[in-house]
Structure 1
Amino acid sequence: MAKAEDVHRIALALEGTTASPHFDRTAFKVFRNYATLAADGLTINLKFTPDEQELTCLVHHEAFSPVPNAWGQQGWTTANLARLSEAELSEALQKAWRHAVTKKPRR
């Protein structure tokens, strides 16, 4: 079972990642946010492509679900940390990070 501490440790080990407050959450970003950890430490939202989101939610429906709004239609996906192993969390964070690291910074 993954925990909030695992999110911090894994995300901050990814090159260029910083953590900062984002409303009531903690955001992890490189050039753009790629993950946000809920204040209660129970869930994390991750930025996948819509295709990745669809496949991930289909295969791991017990742990992943689309964010239920327009953000979800853009690929933002909620993961229940209690239903993920550390390895699964690491894989999901790396997937989201890869998208953020390839984005050019906003001007």
Structure 2
Amino acid sequence: MQFTRAFRDEAGWNEPSLDIYPGDRAPVVRVGTDGQREIARTTWGMPFPPEVVKNYDPGVTKIRNLNSPHWRRWLAPTSRCVVPFTSLAEPDPASKVTGRQVMAASPR
């Protein structure tokens, strides 16, 4: 809270976690409805564009194509947040399990 200057903790979260993936709930620092910074627990990740989803939308953690119309609604300052983390899971192209890439944590 001191680093981000958040005024309140709405997340009820204070334990470190090694496994937060798209679809999981995790803490973020955002601007609340009253304009004050708060730590809130939200669903982690962004939805894939509908034309990409077949049966299940696992979500993504990085938006690489900022020119895509799908992402524009989330690029405004009201949708931005700070995500506290000490490592980030990246797809490891060298490891595949049942045809899917395995996420490998890398310290940041």
Q: TM exceeds 0.5?
A: no
Q: Return the structure number with greater helix share.
A: 1
Interval of TM-score (by shorter of Structure 1 and Structure 2): under 0.3
| Larger relative contact order (Cα-Cα within 8 Å, sequence gap ≥ 6) | 1
TM-score (norm 2): 0.21
Q: What's the TM-score once normalised by structure 1's chain length?
A: 0.21
